[in-house]
């Protein structure tokens, strides 16, 4: 057995009390991972005998370890190393994680990314639409990973087929065929996240100067990809029920675009969804004008109010829709895993683009996720996440109905993870942002989601509830609403000052 006593040596000259020295030594062993979570520490009697110190010294050191989150006690069994220290403030780099799911490049937001505005652990984070790590199914995934290593040995680490490991394509096709998108494994392309999918499609289909139509506002990561490929973006204002079809057709005729990029269900950032009837019309336009549609499906599964939107891919009689699926919102974003259903007419170009980008998505991760699906873990986890998010959705919409001042408004999306709040024209979002940060609240300012200066016509903020614990939502919305009200009062009192 591992001999902990050899690693605990007291220095005679050290002026610190013995219990502090013991605490520091054990703490060092835990932080350096020489002692792992759930390791049983020797009993108080053993410690005092082996180290030749008083029992009270050991008891006091153990109590301090417990108090600081390094250890826990099981009555009747002893004291064990805890894993709580892993989330102690020292180990959380929240400043760097808080907003990474969107591209922020303006004003105060870049200060957050640079760590110049620091966000404490108590900050209520309405800016990130990414689940918190405590929701990740680590134990079940570990089972799948271990089984893959046992089963496939070194094969798990070789290069994979660029289109994706065949069995995982079968598993995904199996899941899709139970829903209303039917496909065969040969139509699927595995990708290292939806972001890569958008990039690969752009690489395969766009030349410098080609036009892409996007909704306005839209996902910042897609704007960044199209710009980086030298494409020109023609953005069309998104309505509550999808794009205006006349404006869409007019824009297609004017710019002759290669692609339409759309997030038809619970759009990011607005939460708006395109009606099923409009989806069909958009596909007809794509066929009429010979272009492709990227359907970005990042949260359609989170349909809390039974809206039953039909994926565009399942309405796609003409094979014009490239369906891209992200797992980042309901699974683990760091796995970098997703898939696309690709029309046969462009499949070989897409596979070549994928190969040129990274040869293939990690074989180990593909195999483990395949097993994870086959063992039934996926269905269980998807249900778990749905319930967690639904609870948060109900809490945030309830709180907004109760606290949001009448000058602000929002449209209930029915699902997804984002709520788009409209504020009166002229209201300073920058001031609201700064004041909210000092009140421990962050959100995403609406202007970052616009590719052109059309944001000047709007005044919005995006609230996401993926990262906010249910019991923090109401107080967060109340604080934010009070901040909006007090800022409005200040600006009204300035307006009412007599002109001298």
Ligand X SMILES: Cc1ncc(COP(=O)(O)O)c(C=O)c1O
Give yes or no for residue 189 binding ligand X (CB under 6 A). no
CA distance 421 to 399: 13
Nearer to ligand X, 458 or 462 (CB): 462
CA distance 287 to 293: 10
Distance of alpha carbon 101 from the chain centroid? 6
Identify whether the C-beta of residue 74 lies closer than 8 Å to the C-beta of residue 36. no
Nearer to ligand X, 214 or 483 (CB): 214
**Given the structure tokens 């996401």, which residue do they identify?**
464
| Region near ligand X per CB under 6 A, out of 84-92, 189-197, 228-236, 404-412 | 189-197
Give yes or no for residue 338 binding ligand X (CB under 6 A). yes
Nearer to ligand X, 325 or 458 (CB): 325
Please report the sign of the dihedral spanned by the C-alpha atoms of residue 396, residue 402, residue 404, residue 406: positive
* Chosen residue from 21, 123, 195, 366 binding ligand X by CB under 6 A: 195
Give yes or no for residue 221 binding ligand X (CB under 6 A). yes
Nearer to ligand X, 220 or 234 (CB): 220
Give yes or no for residue 193 binding ligand X (CB under 6 A). yes
Give me the least distance between CB of 96 and ligand X, in Å please: 16
Inter-CA distances, 343 with 183, 204, 291, 337, 357, Å: 11, 13, 12, 20, 20
* Chosen residue from 30, 124, 144, 194 binding ligand X by CB under 6 A: 194
* Chosen residue from 85, 104, 266, 298 binding ligand X by CB under 6 A: 298
Give me the least distance between CB of 155 and ligand X, in Å please: 26
Give me the least distance between CB of 359 and ligand X, in Å please: 18
**Given the structure tokens 């609240």, which residue do they identify?**
441
Give yes or no for residue 339 binding ligand X (CB under 6 A). no
| Percentage helix, strand, coil for the chain under 3-state DSSP, each rounded to 5 | 50, 15, 35
CA distance 437 to 128: 14
Residues in Cβ contact with 297 at an 8 Å cutoff, skipping those fewer than 6 apart: 263, 264, 265, 311, 323, 324, 325, 326
Give yes or no for residue 263 binding ligand X (CB under 6 A). yes
| Region near ligand X per CB under 6 A, out of 191-199, 283-291, 362-370, 464-472 | 191-199
Site size for ligand X, by CB under 6 A?
15
Distance of alpha carbon 427 from the chain centroid? 29
Give yes or no for residue 268 binding ligand X (CB under 6 A). yes
Binding footprint of ligand X on the chain (CB under 6 A): 101, 129, 193-195, 219, 221, 263, 268, 296, 298, 326, 328, 333, 338
């Amino acid at each position: 057995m591992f001999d902990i006593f050899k690693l605990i040596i007291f220095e005679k000259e050290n002026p610190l009390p013995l219990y502090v020295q013991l605490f520091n030594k054990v703490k060092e062993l835990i932080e350096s991972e020489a002692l792992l979570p759930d390791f049983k520490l020797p009993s108080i009697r053993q410690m005092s005998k082996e180290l030749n110190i008083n029992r009270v010294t050991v008891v006091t050191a153990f109590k301090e370890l417990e108090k600081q989150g390094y250890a826990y006690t099981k009555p009747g069994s002893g004291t064990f190393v805890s894993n709580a220290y892993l989330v102690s403030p020292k180990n959380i780099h929240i400043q760097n994680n808080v907003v990474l799911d969107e591209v922020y490049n303006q004003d105060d937001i870049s200060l957050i990314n640079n760590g110049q505005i620091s966000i404490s652990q108590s900050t209520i984070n309405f800016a990130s639409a990414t689940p918190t790590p405590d929701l990740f199914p680590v134990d079940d995934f570990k089972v799948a990973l271990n089984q893959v290593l046992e089963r496939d040995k070194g094969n798990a680490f070789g290069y994979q087929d660029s289109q994706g490991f065949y069995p995982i394509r079968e598993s995904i096709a199996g899941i899709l065929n139970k829903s209303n998108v039917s496909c065969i494994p040969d139509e699927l392309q595995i990708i290292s996240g939806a972001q890569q999918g958008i990039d690969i499609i752009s690489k395969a289909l766009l030349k410098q100067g080609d036009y892409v139509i996007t909704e306005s506002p839209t996902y910042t990561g897609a704007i960044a990809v199209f710009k980086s490929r030298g494409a020109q973006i023609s953005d069309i204002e998104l309505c509550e029920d999808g794009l205006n079809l006349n404006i869409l057709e007019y824009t297609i005729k004017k710019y002759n675009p290669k692609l339409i990029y759309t997030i038809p269900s619970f759009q990011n950032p607005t939460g708006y969804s395109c009606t099923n009837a409009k989806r069909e019309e958009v596909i007809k336009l794509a066929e009429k004008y010979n272009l492709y549609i990227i359907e970005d499906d990042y949260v359609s599964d989170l349909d809390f109010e039974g809206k039953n939107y039909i994926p565009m891919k399942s309405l796609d009689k003409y094979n014009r829709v490239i369906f891209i699926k992200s797992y980042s919102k309901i699974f683990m974003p760091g796995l970098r895993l997703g898939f696309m259903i690709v029309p046969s007419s462009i499949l070989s170009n897409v596979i070549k683009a994928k190969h040129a980008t990274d040869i293939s998505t990690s074989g180990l991760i593909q195999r483990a996720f395949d097993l994870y699906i086959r063992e039934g873990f996926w269905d269980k986890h998807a249900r778990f996440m749905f319930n967690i998010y639904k609870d948060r959705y109900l809490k945030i919409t309830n709180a907004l109905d109760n606290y949001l001042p009448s000058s602000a408004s929002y449209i209930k999306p029915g699902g997804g993870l984002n709520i788009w709040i409209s504020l009166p024209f002229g209201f300073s979002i920058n001031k609201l942002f700064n004041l909210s940060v000092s009140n421990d609240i962050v959100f995403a300012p609406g202007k970052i989601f616009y590719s052109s200066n059309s944001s000047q016509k709007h005044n919005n903020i995006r609230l996401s509830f993926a990262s906010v614990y249910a019991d923090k939502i109401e107080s967060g919305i109340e604080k934010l609403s009070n901040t909006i009200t007090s800022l409005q009062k200040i600006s009204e009192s300035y307006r009412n000052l007599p002109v001298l």
